[in-house]
Amino acid sequence: MLTKKQNLIETISGGKPDRFVNQYEFLTAIMETAVTMSGFPGPGGVGHDAWGVTWSWPEGQIGAFPVHDDEHKVLKDITEWKKYVKKPVVPTDDEIWAPAIEAVSKVDRNDQYVTVMAAPGLFETTHHLMGMEDALMAYYEEPEAMHELIDYITEYELDLAKVYIDKLKPDALFHHDDWGSQISTFISPEMFEEFFVPGYKKIISFYKDNGVELVVHHSDSFAATLVPSMIEMGIDIWQGVMKTNNIPDLIDQYGDKIAFMGGLHSGEIDFPDWTAENTAKHVEEACKNYGKRSFIPCLTSGLPMSNFPGVYDEVTAQIDKMSKELF
């Protein structure tokens, strides 16, 4: 029986896996890191992240979202972004990183990838700072300032990468940046190429030049038109690929260059009155429709978790069942 890492490599390289890669089983995400997602509130709370963005998590909702009224918006004028935006300082004190270092020491690197997380990404950070409407308008009206801001955010991601590599020596990067809705990207492929590909190439190249073997990027959205850019940037696995993308077609076109992780729309599976029967139906459809090559069945939401208790474990069990049936 192949190890989890071996099975992953066989799956994404056109080899001979002996089962489906089961969701996030090949990654151990080191969530004890000192800066990732710091300041985010819990349900019913309000918090402030390292960029100064105010986040609110209303009761009864499944997540937090930035607050963008005039009082709380960090970046009020893109042409004066240097006045408003200050990148976080990545801490380097060993004591702060001790929990993460201890977590890394417990991972069997022969079986799983020690994985660090970078979130939010370049696109999300721009609209977290100023709001989605202001950000999307700024790409058209003030492209020079937006390029400068994105370069600045890229500098921060490189600062973080240097400390991650120094302290944790990760094998994989899990990067988070949602690039679209369920039916379209937020910006055109041409605009994405202009504004984001250069920065991401710098970030991903730095990780890979310093020992990171695998880059998994989360965008639970439609992003089929961005796959050529993902390949150019150096992404190995697109996690979060929804059914609104033509997954079989993507595998046929690009499966020798990038793998697709998802196909199980969280909104159709992970809800308060979820059932094992519904979960089994969706898992069976995905595994049979998308096949064994360059496809990893997984809930589309980021990280190995579900919004409602028991869903993630049930998906895992159903994927195991399909492995026994199809391999």
Considering the domain boundaries, does residue 50 fall inside one?
A: no
Domain count, the chain: 1
- Cut 0.95: pTM above it: yes
pLDDT tens per residue, range 73-91: 999 999 999 999 999 999 9
Considering the domain boundaries, does residue 167 fall inside one?
A: yes
Taking 70 as the pLDDT cut, the residues of the chain under it are: 34, 36-37
Inter-residue contact 30 to 165 (CB < 8 Å)? no
Alpha-helix runs per DSSP H in the chain: 4-12, 81-84, 94-105, 122-130, 132-141, 143-168, 189-195, 197-209, 227-233, 247-254, 266-269, 276-290, 311-326
Domain CATH for 239: 3.20.20.210
Considering the domain boundaries, does residue 185 fall inside one?
A: yes
Domain encompassing residue 144: 4-36+73-326
Give the pLDDT score at 39.
78
Considering the domain boundaries, does residue 103 fall inside one?
A: yes
Amino acid at 156: Y
pLDDT tens per residue, range 117-161: 999 999 999 999 999 999 999 999 999 999 999 999 999 999 999
